[in-house]
Amino acid sequence: MQIFGVDIGGSGIKGAPVDLDKGDLAQERLKVLTPHPATPDGVADGVKQVVDHFGWTGPVGLTFPGVVTGGAMIRTAANVDKSWIDTDARALFTGRLGGLPVVVLNDADAAGVAEMQFGAGRDRKGTVILLTFGTGIGSAVFVDGALVPNTELGHLELGGHDAEKRASSKAKEDHELSWERWAQRVQKYLAHVEMLFSPELFIIGGGVSRKADKFLHLLDGIKAEIVPAQLQNNAGIVGAAMRAAQLT
């Protein structure tokens, strides 16, 4: 079965049909730049461009970089325009996509659901935490395979700042950090999360998962196993499609 997934991020909006039997993209994804400011109308236009490119006419799953409740309502907007807060995203996207059935969920939760079903978290019990390092830091927490939604652990305080302001991949770029310097920050962050949740496994996702060989070996002192996301930066698209499949 194929379902369409869209991953909305602070820098890009990417989507493709997903083969849910394989847990992989059925066609090469299309990515468009996230508008700035990333207002609801501007982002909805980008989503429409991606979906229309494939001529898709079925259910659509969408991720959002913030807290999403009830598959629709946006509660936080750290890396997009603040006008998103209290927006009914399902109504917005359904209207923009000509009435297609839509469901919206937190971006890291979507990536985590995909990794637990098809990737690095498959068949893993206990506490598993996926962390996506990109424009911000997203998190998805699972206990014996069950998702604890909307954890937003990227906003834990680290060194007097939101952790994502110190340890996201955007922070690495903005401060021109070497892999070694950035890994030190990531290690402090992981140690803090580990102290709070004592996971058996950390899955590192987001764009940096493609470059795991650059930094994973630099992380020491963490008791939990640390592995890169197997679906890499497509995990959000796959997870969004998985959630949208429940609409059929």
pLDDT tens, residue by residue, 86-126: 999 999 999 999 999 999 999 999 999 999 999 999 999 99
Supply 16's token pair.
Answer: 């493709």
6 confidence band (pLDDT: 50, 70, 90): very high
Say how far apart CA 173 and CA 232 lie, in whole Å: 19
- Cα–Cα–Cα angle for 31, 112, 80, rounded to 5 degrees: 50
- List the domains of the chain with CATH numbers: 2-107+235-247 (3.30.420.40), 120-229 (3.30.420.40)
Q: Which residues lie across from 18 on neighbouring strands?
A: 3, 25
Name the nearest CA neighbour of 112 among 91, 89, 88, 138: 138
pLDDT-based confidence at residue 231 (cuts at 50, 70, 90): very high
**Average pLDDT value over all residues in the chain:** 96
Give the pLDDT score at 50.
98
Place of tokens 């962390």: 131
Can you tell me the mean pLDDT for 18-23?
A: 97
Instruction: Return the DSSP state at 229.
Output: -
Residue 202: pLDDT over 90: yes
For 144-182, how does the pLDDT look when each residue is reduced to its tens digit (9 = 90+)? 999 999 999 999 998 899 999 999 999 999 999 999 999
Could you tell me whether strands 146-148 and 137-143 are parallel, antiparallel, or unpaired per DSSP bridges? Answer: antiparallel
The amino acid present at 107, given as its one-letter code, is D
Rg from Cα positions in the chain: 17
Residue 233 has pLDDT above 90, yes or no: no
Per the structure block, which two tokens stand in for 51? Answer: 């979906």
Q: Per-residue pLDDT for 248 more than 90?
A: no
| Rounded Cα distance, 141 and 147, in Å | 6
Task: Say how many C-beta atoms besides its own lie within 10 A of residue 247's C-beta.
Answer: 15
Q: How far apart are CA 146 and CA 140, in angstroms?
A: 10
Distance CA 61, CA 90 (A): 10
